Structure 1
Amino acid sequence: MTAIDPAPETPADEVLRKSAEARLRALAGESARLREDQWTAIRALVAQRRRALVVQRTGWGKSAVYFVATALLREVGAGPTVIVSPLLALMRNQIAAAERAGIRARTVNSANTTDWETVYADVAAGEVDVLLVSPERLNNPEFRDRVLPRLAAGAGLVVIDEAHCVSDWGHDFRPDYRRIRSLLHDLPDGIPVLATTATANERVTRDVAEQLRAGAEREDTLVLRGSLERESLHLAVVDLPDPTARLGWLAEHLPEIQGSGIVYALTVSAAEDTARFLSEQGMAVRAYTGQTDPDERREAEDDLLANRVKALVATSALGMGFDKPDLGFVVHLGAPQSPISYYQQVGRAGRGVERAEVILLPGREDVRIWEYFASLSFPPEETVRRTLAVLEEEGRPLSPAHLETRVDLRRSRLEQMLKVLDVDGAVRRVRGGWESTGRPWSYDAERYAAVSRAREAEQRAMLDYIALDTCRMEFLRRQLDDPAASPCGRCDVCTGRYWPADADPVRREAAAAHLDRPGTPLAPRRQWPTGMKTLGVPLSGRVKPELMAEEGRALGRITDIGWGGELRRVLAADAPDHPVDDRVLQGVVRVLAAWDWRERPVGVVAMPSTTRPAMIADLAERVARLGRLAPVGSLAYRDGRGPGERRHNSAMRLAQVYAALVPGPGLAEAMAALQAENPGPVLLVDDLTDTGWSLTVGAALLRGLGAPAVLPLTLATTGG
């Protein structure tokens, strides 16, 4: 790896630079001029056909490097540029920018499958200058085997955008990016490669630069690293005591900030709750999460770009690639778990304006949310070995749904693990699923442990950032190993000008009323998991309508910024098994009062519990008494043992519950008597629902005993 300039410039380089400057003006306007590092990168790619890594702040002009290089390479007959880009929003912005410069750009991603064949034909015909592909495409069997070899062999330039995702030391490692190493290894000699990122510390930079050398026969990767200073950003932290104060503060102060911007939340439920509250307070905002419909996400992006909304209230789903130079603010409702990821998100602001406000409103619950995300790291060796053994034994491709019946991992985590194993050469994605390659594989426990320690250090650093009494921007730049880091003179610590740490009482009261609203819908399970016969469970296809539960209700989500704190307290693993307290009970009563059921329930049935039997029995009894409903009884666990240690994925959890759950003593008789005397739906009461299979199986049992409908009611759900 080197950070020095290439050899001295030649007369041919002078001609090339003039042409590059002209191409830049076509892209960015007549006043545009190449920065020295931009020129160094372009020269390395076009004249020397090198591999280069550019680590520069957001808005520096990294995309200008590869668009100008593309135009120059195409002039001399090179093939199209292939850009690996992580997000559709980024692709749309880049295609628009390319077209402004007369560069013909197309994309291949999950949102335009019907266009793929036309795009491939246009590439083959030389009618495409830039092809953008998502990293997930690189391991799509058809794309990998049929399209990628021909594309790589004929490429004029390969670009990896957001290259920090290549490294598992980075804050946003993505297994699909690991496929890029294989792509680079198979490139013909002489095809230049450019990797770009705004957020890589020295360790990540070294790792990415090393991976860029895969298959290269010439010199080391050229690394061009610049200052991360952003003179428009004014950083601040406002430490408020609770969610009510934070929402009230937002409602009061957001209208005071110039321009439009982004309010980031750590969870889907927090983003949706905050967007609803700010809308009620008269602000034009929209929620934006990974669960938002793709068309609605695009509309929301367009609304923010056109300043039709004050803010998008978003999760990290709105991150890399969103390009709005005049973004006036970024506010975080809860702290990200890494100063580096925080710097990346706040870097969205202030690229084209003189001043942008960057405000962090940390929450007491942030650390617990970080702990949850940390639990999704690479699985332990025993689980990985089990997966490899299953694939080896089967000797045929297995889909993730079928693997779930044999390996206890949730679908998303299972797929992440398989992608890592694929890059390591132990498995291969093919039509129909995944298969074993039979190659030996070793579990790099030392590296995984070191990555985990690095994550923990990042979390400690984020807590340090919140408590700083020195320059905030200098701290962030030092976390990114910026050698030029120095006090900014603009943040709240440097200036001594702090945002007020209180909220207008009226706004705070409105926030309290909003957060105190109970009730979250519980959608019924409609489809049994695939492959249940493998686990000895005779269930498949759709859940029969005569056995299905109705839509239920939870008092709140564990991740809520309102009821979530209370629910996390009473349902904590070390919390005593007490009857529900009056505040929680009154919340449940309000849920029942607002429930728009088709037919009022006539009875209450309790779910069994091995950890909170007193709480659930008390809740069922008091709901029955307050609602004047018949206490019908309880379901039970076969032999009283319970379903065993909770499984993580749907198939295994369903198998556990199906084997364990039965009608309790006298329940069948009580249900028959109730339906004969006063027929109607029954409430099925539980403390917490996660996968939803306990309630699904419980509802099916009660429907089998004659209940015409079953309405699940829980204190909490993990959804969102």
Structure 2
Amino acid sequence: MTNADRAALRASADSVLARLVGDATGAARLREDQWRAIEALVADKRRALVVQRTGWGKSAVYFVATSLLRARGSGPTVIVSPLLALMRNQVAAAARAGISARTINSSNTEEWETVQAEVAAGEVDVLLVSPERLNNPDFRDQVLPQLAAATGLLVVDEAHCISDWGHDFRPDYRRLRTMLADLPAGVPVLATTATANARVTADVAEQLGTGAGTDALVLRGALDRESLSLSVLQLPNAAHRLAWLGDHLGELPGSGIIYTLTVAAAEEITAYLRQCGYPVASYTGRTENADRQQAEDDLLANRVKALVATSALGMGFDKPDLGFVVHLGSPSSPIAYYQQVGRAGRGVDHAEVLLLPGKEDEAIWQYFASVAFPPEEQVRRTLDVLAHAGRPLSLPAMEPLVDLRRTRLETMLKVLDVDGAVKRVKGGWISTGEPWVYDSDRYAWVARQRAAEQQAMRDYASGTGCRMEFLRRQLDDEEAAPCGRCDNCAGPRFDDKVSTAALDGARGELGRPGVEVEPRKMWPTGLSAVGVDLKGRIPAGETARPGRALGRLSDIGWGNRLRPLLAAQAPDAPVPDDVTNAVVTVISDWAKGPGGWASGSPEAAPRPVGVVTVASRRRPQLVHSLGSRIAEIGRMPLLGTVTYAPGTKDLRISQTNSAQRVKALHEALVVEPALADALASAGGPVLLVDDLSDTGWTLAVAARLLRRAGAEGVFPLVLAVQA
């Protein structure tokens, strides 16, 4: 291509950019590195890796390149992205530039056939695909080969997800290597990310063929965000942090995002801020797709002051005028933190970024770390099960045989699939028979990296140096220097004062005891495979009623009080008075609530006539004292304990796999004759008392035993639920 041709191409690229950003004057111009990437893709048909800060304009590169390539007769652009929210934003952005974009992801299954037909007909310029689609058997075997053959440009968005050294590893992304191998010669490839340090960049480059030794362009820019003012505010407890938001949220510029570490915290914060009069919406993994889209639309239109979000919102939200990002609770990785705060200040001169760390953060980090890649014994067990199955096994069929929770099992299988040891086919998963090595050194190194990232977040929160420089150095930004804007450079912009009214309101919200415990209604699939003759819906005469817990371990109210009490290393001791008093309040509210035995309504449940405890191997004093106190205060007899059969007290009970857990509990728990006689004499429903419900299966099995022994109803009551 001659210099004149390249100049004409540059003019066309700037014209597309102007349409993309809505510049009617046509004055918009690409950044020099944006143009270098587009030139490499369109003129030279090269591969490129772009590591640039959020807001730099990476999406402009692939949309402009798409327009130019389509004008020259190339096939559609395929963008692989994990960000459903960003997909919706990008479809709208593409339309402004005259680009037809469609998506295939988990939220629009009803549209897949239509979209695929439109792609085949040449009516789609950009197809956004979630990484999970890449290993769906039908999509992988039927759609993907045709798509790879027709693709004019492949874009890997959020490319750090391809590396398990990164903060957001997603094994589905590894399938891209297969698609890359099937691309015709000369098809350009673009990988983009805002959060990759040197190690992750090298790993991504190697996997995508954009590394050393290739004719690829690597553009890595400085990561400073001049619009962001970073601050950390240390407050004494969760109530003070919530009260601070109640007092000061209105002072933050524009609208923004409040990130939390758990769903429970997001719901608590949303409820409190609404009571304070703020228009806010919750956005978590439990939020329905329609509600998510409504929340996104409301934030884009500034109809809400903030979305209170977990990482379900994550990286993927495109609102250039986002005025603030507040984290109530510290993420475990400075790289993930940089990614999330980067949503703010993209189209405004100033945006506030504030971290409010909490003491509970570390416990939440530990929980997420506990679901890392399983130990070799469990992996080998899974491979053996598949090797001897003689047929494809679905996740529900496999789960009871390998003692892994389904989500963790699925993630492990995806890694094994990428490694070539298993394959997903119609009907489930099969073993390939290929040799496989457990890379213990790599997994241990990743674990050490996670620990180092956690320490870095502690250092960030407590450090006295420039906060932006700290984050940039975590991302190996060689140009990192003091920003002059953060609280350590320019002085604090926020004080720790909260009003008495806000603090009282926050304490009331966080101190309000009581969480409904929904009973199990269906037995887990696959019990017959482990020798238990239970399946389907639990009969009405054997189920528990809806129960109550004092709080969730993951919340920032009672969770902060209960976590130390129920920690694995905590000493066993009688239940503390403050906890007892709160449980009594829960029972009182429960009894007077809708359908409660003291509600006076026609459909009121009968009043419990006694208390039964569940035998505890770890905290027998705690559980027994809780049952005794409730019986004493409620003037009911303590009828006895659902205990362990002789010889089963040391039986291993799975903490992760439902079928294995039910099998062990089915064999171990018994209602002894003395308790059965007491139930018959009491003649009514009972309160079933335990310390913790993490899966609900202990309560379900114990309730079944009690109902079969003569209890007319079972009301579960626990100190905490794990969710």
**Do these two structures clear the TM 0.5 threshold for a shared fold by scoring above it?**
yes
Alignment RMSD (CA, Å): 1.5
Cα distance in structure 2, aligned partners of 1:459 and 1:574:
21
Paired residue type of 1:19: S
Report the alpha carbon displacement of residue 585 of structure 1 after superposing the two structures with TM: 0.0
Alignment match of 1:69 (pick from 65, 71, 74): 65
Does the 8 A contact of 1:288 with 1:300 survive in 2?
yes
Report the alpha carbon displacement of residue 220 of structure 1 after superposing the two structures with TM: 3.8
Q: Secondary structure at the match of 2:186?
A: coil
Q: Secondary structure at the match of 2:299?
A: helix
Aligned residue number for residue 51 of structure 1: 47
Aligned residue number for residue 600 of structure 2: none
Alignment match of 2:150 (pick from 150, 154, 157): 154
Aligned residues: 707
Q: Is 2:663 the counterpart of 1:655?
A: yes
Q: Is 2:669 the counterpart of 1:669?
A: no
Cα distance in structure 2, aligned partners of 1:218 and 1:112:
40
Q: Secondary structure at the match of 2:400?
A: coil
- Kindly, what percent of the aligned residue pairs are identical? 63
Alignment match of 2:20 (pick from 9, 23, 27): 27
Cα distance in structure 2, aligned partners of 1:245 and 1:497:
18
Check 1:568–1:640 CA distance in 2 against 1; reply closer, same or farther (3 A cut). farther
Q: Secondary structure at the match of 2:575?
A: coil
Q: Secondary structure at the match of 1:406?
A: helix
Does the 8 A contact of 1:24 with 1:68 survive in 2?
yes
Alignment of structure 1 residues 538-549 onto 2, 5 Å: 538-549=533-544
Aligned residue number for residue 560 of structure 2: 565
Q: Is 2:226 the counterpart of 1:219?
A: no
Check 1:248–1:44 CA distance in 2 against 1; reply closer, same or farther (3 A cut). same
Report the alpha carbon displacement of residue 218 of structure 1 after superposing the two structures with TM: 8.7
Alignment match of 2:414 (pick from 405, 411, 419): 419
1:461-516 CA distance string (max 9 Å, x none): 11110111111011111111111111111100001234212321221121112111
Report the alpha carbon displacement of residue 642 of structure 1 after superposing the two structures with TM: 2.5
Aligned residue number for residue 623 of structure 1: 630
Cα distance in structure 1, aligned partners of 2:331 and 2:107:
29
1:283-319 CA distance string (max 9 Å, x none): 1111111111111111111111111111111101112
Q: Secondary structure at the match of 2:483?
A: coil
Q: 5+ residue gaps in structure 2?
A: 597-603
Cα distance in structure 2, aligned partners of 1:662 and 1:311:
51
Alignment match of 1:248 (pick from 243, 250, 257): 243
Cα distance in structure 1, aligned partners of 2:451 and 2:213:
37
Cα distance in structure 2, aligned partners of 1:283 and 1:498:
22
Q: Is 2:190 the counterpart of 1:186?
A: no
Alignment match of 2:11 (pick from 15, 18, 21): 18
Aligned residue number for residue 642 of structure 1: 649
Report the alpha carbon displacement of residue 665 of structure 1 after superposing the two structures with TM: 4.5
Paired residue type of 2:719: L
Aligned residue number for residue 110 of structure 2: 114
Does the 8 A contact of 2:692 with 2:721 survive in 1?
yes
Report the alpha carbon displacement of residue 643 of structure 1 after superposing the two structures with TM: 6.2
Cα distance in structure 1, aligned partners of 2:650 and 2:268:
34
Q: Secondary structure at the match of 2:401?
A: coil
Aligned residue number for residue 127 of structure 2: 131
Q: Secondary structure at the match of 1:358?
A: strand
Answer with 592-601 or 192-201: which moved more.
592-601
Q: Is 2:662 the counterpart of 1:688?
A: no
Q: Secondary structure at the match of 1:485?
A: coil
Does the 8 A contact of 2:421 with 2:436 survive in 1?
yes
Q: Secondary structure at the match of 1:666?
A: helix
Does the 8 A contact of 1:235 with 1:357 survive in 2?
yes
TM-score under structure 2 normalisation? 0.96
Q: Is 2:710 the counterpart of 1:706?
A: yes
Check 1:687–1:403 CA distance in 2 against 1; reply closer, same or farther (3 A cut). same
Check 1:614–1:557 CA distance in 2 against 1; reply closer, same or farther (3 A cut). same
Q: Secondary structure at the match of 1:204?
A: helix
Paired residue type of 1:130: V
Aligned residue number for residue 5 of structure 1: none
Does the 8 A contact of 2:653 with 2:665 survive in 1?
no
Report the alpha carbon displacement of residue 546 of structure 1 after superposing the two structures with TM: 1.1
1:219-255 CA distance string (max 9 Å, x none): 3432101111111101000011111111111111111
Paired residue type of 1:682: V
Report the alpha carbon displacement of residue 273 of structure 1 after superposing the two structures with TM: 0.7
Aligned residue number for residue 305 of structure 1: 300
Alignment match of 2:616 (pick from 587, 609, 614): 609
Q: Is 2:579 the counterpart of 1:584?
A: yes
Check 1:314–1:643 CA distance in 2 against 1; reply closer, same or farther (3 A cut). farther
Q: Secondary structure at the match of 1:93?
A: helix
Alignment match of 1:521 (pick from 502, 516, 519): 516
Aligned residue number for residue 3 of structure 1: none
Q: Secondary structure at the match of 2:495?
A: coil
Paired residue type of 1:685: V
Answer with 9-18 or 460-469: which moved more.
9-18
Q: 5+ residue gaps in structure 1?
A: 1-7
1:638-671 CA distance string (max 9 Å, x none): 0163262331211111111011010034011111
